[in-house]
Amino acid sequence: MTEVEREVFGHMPQEEGGAVVEKFKLKSDSVKVEILSLGCIITSLETKDRDGKFSDIVLGFDTLEGYTRKHPFFGAVVGRVANRIAKGRFAMDGKEYQLFLNNGPNSLHGGARGFDKVLWSPQVVPNGVCFFRLSPDGEEGYPGDLKVWVTYTLSGGELTINYRAQTNKMTPISLTNHAYFNLAGQGSQDIYDHEISIEADSYLPVDDTKIPTGEVAAVQGTGFDLRQPVELGKHLQKFHLDGFDHNFCLQQVQARRPVARARHPPTGRTMEVHTTQPGIQFYTGNNLDGSLKGKGTAVYSKHSAFCLETQNWPDAVNKPHFPSALLRPGEEYNHTTWLLFSAP
C-alpha cells in the first residue's frame, strides 16, 4: 500500500494573498515522492539504486521561496499549453488570440502566470492526490473556462500522472509535467553517463527560436535516432550537438505504450516512460547555467538534468498537419503518463 501524508510547506508571498501551500508525501516500498499544491510541483522523488540505497533524482529547492521566484519550471505542471506557441498567436473560428511573450518572440508553457505558478485545490485519493483548478475564461489570453484535474498516484515503482480537462469554449490545451531528472542523484555534475532511448521514427526540426519548422523529419541516419540506447555524452560529441530540446513524434494511438527509457549504469537506476500522448519533448537542461542554488546547496549547471515531457507537439495550434491541440465543449481531455522506476 502507498502511504499518503500531507503537511504545510509554507505560505505564498503576502502580495499574492499569503495562502497556505501544502506538501503531499506518497511513499511505497521503492519510491518516495513529494508534491506541492503550488503548480502540482514534484519537489522530491527518491528511488533505490541497485544496492537498495535511496537518492532524490529530481532538481528543485528546499524551501517554498525557491519555487515562488523565477525558475525553469522545476517539477511543475505547465499549461494551458506546454511548450512554445509561435509569436504567442493563434486563430480559432476566425478569431485571433494574442498571448503573453515570455520566451523571446514566443509564448512558452502557458505564459506569464501559467499553471505552474498558481495554487491548486488538493484532495487525497487512494494511493495519491488529485489537484483541481478552474482556469477562467481569458486567463493568459486563452478562451473558455477550463476545469482541470491532475492526479498523482503511486503503486510500487510506478508513478502515474493523469490529466483531465473540460471547457465551455473551444480552447487549445496540452499539459505535461516538467520534472528535471538526474538518475545519479540531484546535484550530480552532469548526465553524460546516462543511457537514453526514445521510441520515435521522426522528430520535429526547429528554427532558431525553437519553433518547429513544420517538417516531420525521419530520425534515421541522424543524431536524433535514439531508438537504440545511446550514452548521452558520447552521442552529443559524435554528432556535435549542444544538447536536445526537441519533440519526438510518437505512434499516433491514444493507448498506453512505452516511449522512452533512461538508465544510469553506475547506480543501476532506470526510468521508463509510458504515455497516451502523441509527443515527447526531450530536453537536456541546456539553459541551466549554474546560477541557481538547489536542494542542499547543489549548483545546477548545463546538462546536469534531463526532461522527458510527454505532450502534444509544439505550436500544433498553428500547424494543421500536427495532432490537434483543440478541446471542444462536451469533450474531455484525458491523458496519462506513467513513470516506472527500477534498479535491475
Q: What are phi and psi of 301, to 5 degrees?
A: -100, 175
C-alpha cell at 21: 501551500
The tens digit of pLDDT for each residue in 254-295 reads 899 999 999 999 999 999 999 999 999 999 999 999 999 999
Q: Is 138 exposed, middle or buried (0-12, 13-18, 19+ CB in 10 A)?
A: exposed
* Choice among 46, 139, 309, 335 that is catalytic: 309
- Whether 314 and 84 have beta carbons less than 8 Å apart is answered as yes
140 backbone φψ class: left, alpha, beta (φ>0; ψ -120 to 50): left
The answer to whether 180 and 305 have CB atoms below 8 angstroms apart is: yes
Cell for 233? 555524452
The answer to whether residue 303 is catalytic is no
Q: Provide the pLDDT for residue 210.
A: 95
All structural domains of the chain, each given as residue ranges with its CATH number in brackets, are: 3-342 (2.70.98.10)
Of the candidates 124, 123, 167, the one whose C-alpha atom is nearest the C-alpha of residue 145 is 167
| E strands present in 116-229 | 121-125, 128-135, 146-155, 158-167, 171-172, 176-177, 195-198, 202-203, 217-218
Residue 252 DSSP symbol = S
Give the count of alpha carbons within 13 A of 310, CB side only.
28
| Ranges of the chain with pLDDT below 70 | none
State the binding site for beta-D-galactose. Answer: 83-84, 178-180, 245
Catalytic residue (choose from 178, 246, 264, 303): 178
pLDDT of residue 153: 98
Residue 81 to residues 84, 159, 276, 286: CA-CA distances in angstroms? Answer: 8, 23, 17, 21
User: Which helix (H) or strand (E) element contains residue 237?
Assistant: helix 232-238
* pLDDT for position 222: 98
Q: With contact defined as beta carbons under 8 Å apart, do 228 and 261 qualify?
A: no
How far apart CA 140 and CA 98 sit, in angstroms, is 9
Sequence-ordered list of residues with C-beta below 8 angstroms from that of 333, at least 6 positions apart, any chain: 163, 164, 165, 166, 173, 175, 327
Say what the pLDDT of residue 254 is: 84
From the centroid of its chain, how far is CA 111? 15
Q: Which of 223, 214, 243 is nearest to 314 (CA)?
A: 214
| One-letter amino acid for residue 305 of the chain | A
* Known catalytic residue at 309: yes
- Alpha-carbon span 39 to 313, nearest angstrom: 22
What is the rounded CA–CA span in Å between residue 261 and residue 270? 7
pLDDT at 311 (0 to 100) = 98
Rounded Cα distance between 323 and 212, Å, is 13
